[in-house]
Amino acid sequence: MLVADGKTAAYAQVEQALGTAPETPDCGHADFGPHITERLDPELKKSVFVFNLHVTPDNDRCTGFDRQRLEIKTDGHSPAYVKGLLGDSVTFRWLFKLPAGFQPSTNFTHIHQIKAFDGDAGLPIITLTPRKADPDRIELIHVDSHGATTKLASTKLAPFIGQWVEAYEKITYGHQGRYSIVLRALHGGAPLLEYASDHLDLWRTGTTMVRPKWGIYRSLNAPGDLRDEQVFFDRFCLAKGSDDCP
């Protein structure tokens, strides 16, 4: 579990839970300080994580300048329990909130990815991304081992704005894998987005593990679409096998 405690530095909490540090733009924007902070949320009545991203000067770890990345993830140093190995079944549950006025890009503004750690690791396997459109949308995208991209689900972004959303995702890793996700308002009601498949390519040639990523990863190809942004997250649960996330 990774739950904001309001006392410990956010980066330290992330590294303790996931076994690796966040990917941040701190190198090019040191005067701001850590780009993941905490604040007291009046609705949840507890501290939550705030992912802060700025149109200027934030970039992708001072190595990519056409995009910006602020993400937490697992990797090779993570505990075995949170590594996604071939044949593993995993469950992820988390909360996120897109604030009023949130501005996605016409290109990409990913808030969640399932991605190979090594081997054929160029393209994400699963992506959850808000997109500027008419109207703005949130899309669930799949890329298979051959690079074929499929939009699995898409719906209007407006119902997601300004409220806490709970995500519940289940994956069995393999080239004939199983996948499901449900996004719903924290206080119930019909799902805002849902998708399920028992036959989805959820592995990559040459990889040793597949990992989840959460945060803001967005294109700078249309900076006029964007604003300095904050996205809120909390209550990350990663479970494996017969375990489930409460």
The answer to whether position 14 is within a domain reads yes
**In this structure, what token pair is assigned to residue 38?**
């905490």
- Give the whole-angstrom CA distance, residue 62 versus residue 75: 20
Residue 144 placed within a domain: yes
Rg (CA), the chain: 17
Spell out the per-residue pLDDT of the chain, length 246, in tens.
999 999 999 999 999 999 999 999 999 999 999 999 999 999 999 999 999 999 999 999 999 999 999 999 999 999 999 999 999 999 999 999 999 999 999 999 999 999 999 999 999 999 999 999 999 999 999 999 999 999 999 999 999 999 999 999 999 999 999 999 999 999 888 999 999 999 999 999 999 999 999 999 999 999 999 999 999 999 999 999 999 998
Residue 177 counted as domain residue: yes
| 191: CATH | 2.60.120.200
Residue 197 lies in a domain: yes
Residue 4 lies in a domain: no
Segment (H or E) for 172: strand 164-172
Q: How many domains are there within the chain? A: 1
Domain that holds residue 219: 10-240
Residue 245 is assigned to a structural domain of this protein: no
Is 115 inside a domain boundary?
Answer: yes
What pTM value is reported for the model?
Answer: 0.96
CA–CA distance from 75 to each of 18, 72, 81, 125 (Å)? 8, 10, 12, 16
Q: Give the helix/strand (H/E) hosting 12.
A: helix 10-18
CB burial class (10 A; 0-12, 13-18, 19+) of residue 189?
A: exposed
Judge whether 246 lies within some domain: no
